[in-house]
Amino acid sequence: MAHAIKAIREKLDDISKDKDTFHLEVVHSTEEDEALHSRETDSCPPTIVVGREDDKKNIIHLLLLLNSNSEVNNISFVPIVGMGGLGKTTLAQLVFDDDEVTAHFDIKAWVYVSQSFDVKAILGRMLRSIDRQNQAGPELDDLQAQLREKIQGKRFLFVLDDVWEERVVRWEILGKYLTVGAIGSKVLVTTRSSKVAEVGGIVESYHLKGLSEEESWNLLLTKALPRKIPQNPYVEEVGREILRKYGGVPLAVNTIAGMLMSSKNPEIDWPSFLHKGLSEEENPTISALKLSFSHLPSHMKHCFAYCKLYQKGYEFHVKSLVQCWVAQGYIESEIKGLDCFIMLWWRSFFQEVEMDELGNMLTCKMHDLMHDLADSVAGDKIIRSLSSTALINIPSKTRHLAIYEDDDNDAGEEADAAVADELENASKVRTLVCHKPLSKQEFEIVICKFIRLRVLIVFEDRSDASTLLHFVGKLKHLRYLVIHCHGMCKRKTCVALIETKYL
């Protein structure tokens, strides 16, 4: 090991020397900067918006309140929180452009913030949005002095779009420059993180939800088939089924509509699209969600990607999920694991969190598009097979594996043999979730080959469970074991026979 480390260091030294020899310069995050620049927003709303009338009314109501309990030093923050692609910016644009809002506020300004919460840059953009001819100097003191002069005693509305900053101290620095405005001044914030709303001094967040099925269908019709309604009921059925896959996310619906609008024969083209779906390159929602993922700390990225093991629509048991994270070494303890889960929930990676009467988190779900994101970022290191017979050429770098039972219960010994052959190539697996009884051959491979296994969750026949327990001591790295017994009949409700954690 020491020799290998020495060789790596020597190679890095050579690379550093080559950099100096060829006068190379280090340029940081060029592609990321270009991507962020291309996402910059303005206050002009799109020409076609469907299904946000009630949300618009609710936000305007919050903005026009003069005696809000959340007001501090004459101003209050109104957040719009939701995952990427839900239309938070579009909703803010609709509100910003509303006549009643314009008449209510003396000053309005739109600022695109994104991941860089640079107070000086934000103040400069506020000034330029208020006064296009503004010639304020580059110094922070000049900027804050001119801004305070502009908003002194006036009721203002500032929109901070796409905010990621979660440090309280940064918000306090910005907030102190805005306190001179009149009572009723508001700062409308769009963000993917509930944590941003909390540190911004906001009492209650406005959580934006996806479009309903009917709203999604109307948006698709408006853009893909302007002023037309499909005469064939089958086309409508297929169209609605396409939309269900994307959970009412307007960005995805708009993209689908753009691809279907050129269709000359919906009876043929729409079913074909339903079968293929959007590729990752064609789906801008995944690109938008990847920004949320890239903003996570390293350990949270591992925890989120681990969720690829589970099927879409799966109801996660929060405690069990956290225990798997701990068993894999992503998190040091269950307490820190719960903190990690909460942070992912606040950032909209999880949804529909159910709690007991004491506030303990019990179960949750994940939006289908978030699940697609987990598929994308996990790659081949995590494999989820919806059919045991579909296991073909498991990559040697696979570390986490889930196998689901075939719909065809008569797959027989050939299917078991195929699975066993593939398991032979996956000896470095650290997680095995097997939603099918293990055959004798598969069982022997798990015990003899999977020596690095840390998490084992299996569904077994009652007669075989004791045999598995007898040999489980050979798995020296195993930290989390769950065995579900089917009893005498498959398809019966699973009963936990044993649940031993952190062996």
**How far apart (Å, rounded) are the C-alpha atoms in residues 298 and 247?**
28
Q: Which of 182, 232, 453 is nearest to 324 (CA)?
A: 453
Q: Which of 156, 174, 166 is nearest to 191 (CA)?
A: 166
- Asked if 459 and 435 count as a contact pair (C-beta separation under 8 A), the reply is yes
**How far apart (Å, rounded) are the C-alpha atoms in residues 426 and 419?**
11
- Asked if 427 and 450 count as a contact pair (C-beta separation under 8 A), the reply is yes
Residue 338 tokens, joined = 């719960």
- Asked if 278 and 252 count as a contact pair (C-beta separation under 8 A), the reply is yes
Count of C-beta atoms within a 10 Å radius of residue 368? 16
Q: Looking at residue 80, what is its pLDDT?
A: 92
- Asked if 177 and 147 count as a contact pair (C-beta separation under 8 A), the reply is yes
Residue 147 tokens, joined = 């801004």
Position 397: which residue type? Answer: K
Q: How are beta strands 156-163 and 75-81 bridged, if at all?
A: unpaired
Residue 451 tokens, joined = 């020596």
Q: Please give the backbone phi and psi of residue 454, each rounded to the nearest 5 degrees, phi first.
A: -110, -30
**How far apart (Å, rounded) are the C-alpha atoms in residues 80 and 161?**
10
pLDDT along the chain (503 residues), means of 10: 82 78 58 52 86 92 71 77 89 94 93 87 89 74 88 93 86 88 90 76 76 88 72 82 83 83 79 77 78 87 93 90 94 92 90 88 90 88 66 76 67 58 74 76 71 82 59 80 62 36 45
Q: Please give the backbone phi and psi of residue 314, each rounded to the nearest 5 degrees, phi first.
A: -65, 140
Q: E strands of 272-421, at which residues?
A: 316-317, 351-355, 361-365, 382-385, 400-404
Alpha carbon 351 to its chain centroid, in Å, reads: 10
Q: Which helix (H) or strand (E) holds 62?
A: helix 53-64
Q: What is the largest CA-CA distance in the chain?
A: 82
Q: E strands of 68-137, at which residues?
A: 75-81, 107-114
DSSP 206: E
**Bridge partners of 316?**
364
**How far apart (Å, rounded) are the C-alpha atoms in residues 500 and 503?**
7
Whose structure tokens read 């297929």? 238
Say if residue 58 is exposed, middle or buried (CB neighbours under 10 Å; 0-12, 13-18, 19+).
middle
* Concatenated DSSP letters of 21-58: HTT-----SHHHHHHHHHT---SPPPS---S-HHHHHH
Q: Looking at residue 362, what is its pLDDT?
A: 93
* Concatenated DSSP letters of 425-443: T-TT-SEEEEESPPPHHHH
Position 389: which residue type? Answer: T
DSSP 72: B
Q: End-to-end distance of the chain based on CA atoms, in angstroms?
A: 29
Q: Which of 354, 374, 211 is nearest to 292 (CA)?
A: 374
- Asked if 340 and 387 count as a contact pair (C-beta separation under 8 A), the reply is no
- Asked if 477 and 451 count as a contact pair (C-beta separation under 8 A), the reply is yes
- Asked if 424 and 449 count as a contact pair (C-beta separation under 8 A), the reply is yes
Q: How are beta strands 351-355 and 361-365 bridged, if at all?
A: antiparallel
- Give Cβ neighbours of residue 184 (< 8 Å, ≥ 6 apart): 65, 66, 71, 74, 155
